[in-house]
Amino acid sequence: MRLKIALISLYVFENNGTRLIASVLRNAGYEVHEIYFKDYLHHHFEEPTDLEISRMMGVLREQGIGLVGMSIRAGAYLRVGRQFTRMIQQELGLPVIWGGAHISFDREVCIHDCDYLAVGEAEDTIVELCRRLEAGEDTTDIPGLWVNKGGTIHRNPIGELVDNLDRVPFRDYHSTDDKWVIDGKRFSKGDPCLNESVYLMLSSRGCAFDCKFCDVNIYRQIYKDKGQYFRVRSVDNVIAELKYAREHFKNLVRVRFDDELFPVKSAWVAEFAEAYKREIGLPFEILSDPRVIKDEDIARLKDAGLDHVLMGIQASEDVNRRLFGRYHTHERLVEVSRILTKHKVRAGYQIILDIPETTQKDSEDLLDLLLAMHRPFDLYSFSLNLWPGTELTNYYLSKGLVTENDVAGVCDKTLTQFRVDQTMDRPAFDRLFIALYHLTSKSFVPKSLIRWMGTQPYLREHPWPAIVLSETANFFKLGMLGLSMLRRGELSWNMFRRFFNLKAPVSI
Ligand code: B12
């Protein structure tokens, strides 16, 4: 009898890793069941209930599963992953393999909690593991696989990077009979994402840069000596996937390119813009970087439907250089904001706050920068979360500025303070500056007023008037955004559920 595999996605309906591994295994001829165990909710976590767990165990039992794969993308879900794995091993006697970003970062810890770890890119590893399990062969020496055999750990060298991304199948959005959704009272078959109006697309892997806080920083260490880490799919392959998406997403109105960095070579951009306009023609958004934005590329992409660019500016120039290994000047950022405004492409700037070893002067510099940026723009503020193994995390640990308890895997701050809001306890000065940063993206609030508030000694001690103003302005902007998304048909139920949290509203 052939091996049947179940893949469990923890707290995320959209899970590129799970869907990709499912496709790879189905292409190799295996029966695969995908279980979407709850979705993630902005700054809110619901413990799994007994009913949800028994339904999950029921699917594994009834479908005759022989191997369970679990995707642990973020460290905050490690605790649930451990709980489920123990139950599956003990009650069903099944081996469990973990994959996903976090387990690659935290290998030495995670390998003690499961039977197998698929470190890094797992397309080849998983197929080889399934083949050997089916054939009853030894599984302890597969590249990219760490094995825990009764407590003895086999740490195999990393496998090769997928050199040609076009050979990877599309994520599976077409199978319906072998997908299960378990979420509260909901227990249904079928894909939980097909009603989405936005398709999340990946046209590359990796990034051209190496910022010291980023997950890419860890992957670069894992894959050193394995060739080019930033890889891009061919335009034809990208367009073919978007056509596939259009077939299956009946409400599709927008594409979001979720690449760490949207491809940067001008020749690729030109070819893509031409093909996308002709073949797809939907509005789209990208993630980019101030170091690669070019006027002519933006003009081409705008003509093809680009209407939104998300971009990390992260911190003040000095902090970016000193702590993050990011080298761009404030002048460059202002120039980029001019280019985007000129082309009427909406900018979304991402900043990181709560950074150890920074001063009030750094906060003031960041405010000056945001005030110099051309409006309109959106602002996404993230709290610094430390991933195990980045250069930044190791630096802070070595200086005693943080402890292991502050690092993801132990620390689950991403559940309560991934995006910055005022629910976390902080010094008055920081609370004032958060309020002021959030005000910079409200075009109806004069910059002179924000600048003035930043210099008032009273507000530095008692920031509440600025906080009230900032939160009121944010509610207004969120309301307007919600209405315009509704009008454009972009607000799906899943999206609303994920982000609508009155106790901790997202700031934009
Ligand atoms: C896109 C993205 C999202 C999207 C996902 C959309 C989608 N359609 O999947 C959304 C917005 C939903 C999201 C949500 C979150 N994310 Co996120 N996300 C990413 C990002 C940028 C890319 C992930 C991705 O799709 N990569 C492409 C796929 C193909 O690669 P992959 O997932 O690694 O999968 C490969 C292997 O890992 C492996 N694999 C994966 N799963 C499995 C399972 C098995 C069984 C096997 C064998 C192998 C395997 O095989 C795959 C193919 O090689 C990563 C950064 C990164 N580089 O991973 C952050 C990242 C994973 N996210 C992160 C975080 C913190 C979150 C959130 C907690 C944020 C929040 N508070 O809302 C939530 C968590 C949701 C959850 N429950 O997991 C952190 C995790 C850090 C950590 N150690 O904790 C990362 C690293 C980004 C960062 N900020 O640095 N995320």
For residue 71, the CA-to-ligand 1 centroid distance in Å is 9
Tokens for 277? 């306009």
Give CA angle at 257 (251, 259), nearest 5°.
145
Write the residue with the smallest CA distance to atom 48 of ligand 1.
99
For residue 102, the CA-to-ligand 1 centroid distance in Å is 8
Average pLDDT over residues 408-417: 96
Write the residue with the smallest CA distance to atom 88 of ligand 1.
215
For residue 101, the CA-to-ligand 1 centroid distance in Å is 6
Q: From the alpha carbon of 15, which atom of ligand 1 is closest?
A: 9
Q: For the stretch 30-52, what's the b/e string if a residue is b when 16 or more beta carbons lie within 10 angstroms of its beta carbon?
A: bbbbbbbbbbbebbeeeebeeeb
pLDDT computed for residue 500 by the predictor? 85
Helix (H, G, I), strand (E, B) or coil at 354: coil
Tokens for 215? 């997950």
Write the residue with the smallest CA distance to atom 62 of ligand 1.
74
Q: Is 21 in the pocket of ligand 1 (CB under 6 A)?
A: yes
Q: Is 183 in the pocket of ligand 1 (CB under 6 A)?
A: no
Q: Is 74 in the pocket of ligand 1 (CB under 6 A)?
A: yes
The β-bridge partners of 310 are 287, 348
Going by the DSSP 8-state scheme, the letter that residue 491 receives in this structure is -
Total-model pTM: 0.96
Q: Is 81 in the pocket of ligand 1 (CB under 6 A)?
A: no
pLDDT, tens digit, 9 for 90 and up, residues 25-72: 999 999 999 999 999 999 999 999 999 999 999 999 999 999 999 999
Write the residue with the smallest CA distance to atom 65 of ligand 1.
74
Q: How buried is residue 453: exposed, middle or buried, by Cβ count under 10 Å (0-12/13-18/19+)?
A: buried
Q: Report the distance separating Cα 283 and Cα 277, nearest Å.
A: 10
Q: From the alpha carbon of 214, which atom of ligand 1 is closest?
A: 90
Query: Per-residue pLDDT for 501 more than 90?
Result: no
For residue 73, the CA-to-ligand 1 centroid distance in Å is 4
Q: Report the distance separating Cα 89 and Cα 103, nearest Å.
A: 18
Write the residue with the smallest CA distance to atom 46 of ligand 1.
99
Name the nearest CA neighbour of 75 among 357, 418, 354, 352.
Answer: 418
pLDDT, tens digit, 9 for 90 and up, residues 221-271: 999 999 999 999 999 999 999 999 999 999 999 999 999 999 999 999 999
Q: Which domains does the chain have, with CATH numbers?
A: 4-181 (3.40.50.280), 196-420 (3.20.20.70), 422-488 (no CATH)
Query: Per-residue pLDDT for 504 more than 90?
Result: no
For residue 49, give Cα distances in angstroms to 38, 52, 53, 184: 11, 5, 6, 8
Alpha-carbon torsion angle 64, 66, 71, 76, nearest 10:
90
Helices (H), 190-289: 215-222, 235-248, 266-279
Tokens for 327? 């080298």
Q: Which of 73, 78, 160, 210 for mutating ligand 1's site (highest number of atoms within 8 Å of CB)?
A: 73
Amino acid at 201: M
